[in-house]
Amino acid sequence: MTVWDGMIGQPEAIATLQAAARAAAGQDATPGAMTHAWLFTGPPGSGRSVAARAFAAALQCERLDAVGCGECFACTAVAHRAHPDVHSVVPEGLSISVAEMRAIVARSARRPVTGRWQIVVIEDADRLTEQASNALLKAVEEPPERTVFLLCAPSTHPDDVSVTIRSRCRLVTLRTPRAADVAAVLVGEGIDAETAEWAAAAGQGHVGRSRRLARDAAASDRRAEVLTIPARLTTLQACLDAASRLVAAAEAESAALSAELDAGETEALATALGAGGTGRGVAAMARGSAGALKELEKRQKSRATRTQRDSLDRALVDLAAFYRDVLLVLAGADVPAAHPDLADDVIAVSRRLDATGALRCLDAVQACREALELNVKPIIALEALTAALRLPD
């Protein structure tokens, strides 16, 4: 099992990265194969951060002839996010702050401890604030000799990474993996063939989502609940009910996840602040800790908003695929459906819409996704959506 096995259905990207890793290890003289800054883009779920980590492992791999053997200490440490010379930046809130970025840039200038490179992986580089982006740009423009920056950003929003940063990076474009490739991976992980095939189709090229659908009953229940909505939107009351149910489900999912994460963090911070100190120090620490707690609460709130938004967006992606299936039925196209298990609902809805109507529904789902990105209140965006999806009498 090499580090490249996790990159599903991406032969071109693998070839590019392997050539770079070989050049970096001095095994290949292809001029310009290796460079200091890379930008991994691709649709959600195509495995941007998986690709970045595979490349990071290959650059640190101890087997210079194999680059990315998947078995040596370096490869294993990167896979477990424990390599001292590979740092990951994963924004938990809505953006990566300038303070965070300055700290990262400062650390990136150090010499590698054990590996050959000092590697910084920035997941969701589209969430850099403008100031953070500028702080990063300086480092990317004049990278320390042994430092490599690996940025990841969704290709659906290419403009979210500044043009100047993009122009300094080598681009690695990932594509949506085919359902057959995803199903094969799930089978390899021990999932039975029928479930794997269903989850691969329902996940629509999003590997992580397919894996969750195959393994987590709550995720597949939630999907089924969302996908029974279109056929039921016959009255305005039904539309309003559906909107509030969607929002409530997203809130519940986000609350469950946040409660778990928040409690652990708050406790860790309290322990860290409470350790040691007497006399005047204690008073100063009390003032300081109030600030730190407030800062933590702010971050946790921002993360909860993000989780809720992500959860709603997943529901909307499922709905969009539903209307695509409706269009396929109306067009009589012989293309595999995204939701074959909901064929009855798809047919019922296709009897009440024509192609123009189905396209209008698809547009409405897309408009709702954009409204949520622009911070429109979820219930308002969802009510506008479900009203637009109401079936004609």
Neighbours of 90 (CB within 10 A): 13
Which residue lies nearer to Zn ion by CB, 75 or 316?
75
> What are the distances in angstroms from CA 308 to CA 8, 40, 130, 274, 315?
28, 25, 24, 32, 11
State which residue, 64 or 106, has the beta carbon closest to Zn ion: 64
Q: Residue 75 or 120: which CB sits closer to Zn ion?
A: 75
Whichever of 78 and 315 has its CB closer to Zn ion, that residue is: 78
Residue 62 near residue 72, CB atoms below 8 Å = yes
Q: Which is nearer to Zn ion, 74 or 104 (CB)?
A: 74
Spatial separation of the C-alpha atoms in residues 140 and 137, rounded to whole Å = 5
Of 72 and 238, nearer to Zn ion (C-beta) is 72
Least Å from the CB of residue 154 to Zn ion: 29
Is the Cβ of residue 61 or residue 151 nearer to Zn ion in the bound state?
61
Which of 75, 196 has the CB closer to Zn ion? 75
- DSSP per-residue string spanning 165-197: HHHHSEEEE--PPPHHHHHHHHHHTT--HHHHH
Cα 261 from chain centroid?
Answer: 18
Interatomic CA distance for residues 355 and 329, integer angstroms? 10
- Rounded to the nearest whole angstrom, what is the least distance from the CB of residue 71 to Zn ion in the complex? 6
Point out which residues pair with 121 in neighbouring strands.
Answer: 88, 150
**In whole angstroms, how close is the CB of 17 to Zn ion at the nearest point?**
14
* Least spacing, CB of residue 12 vs Zn ion, in Å: 22
Report in angstroms how near the CB of residue 61 gets to Zn ion at its nearest: 3
Q: How far is the CB of 116 from Zn ion (least distance, A)?
A: 12
List interacting residues with Zn ion (CB under 5 A). 61, 69, 72, 75
Backbone angles phi, psi at 88, to 5 degrees: -110, 135
Length of the chain, in residues:
393
Nearest Cα neighbor of 385 from 363, 368, 360 is 368
User: Is residue 227 within 8 Å of 202, Cβ to Cβ?
Assistant: no
Token pair 């996010």 is at which residue? 81
Rounded CA-CA distance 7/303 in Å is 28
CB of 76 to Zn ion, least distance (A): 8
Distance in angstroms (rounded) separating the CA atoms of residues 23 and 29: 6
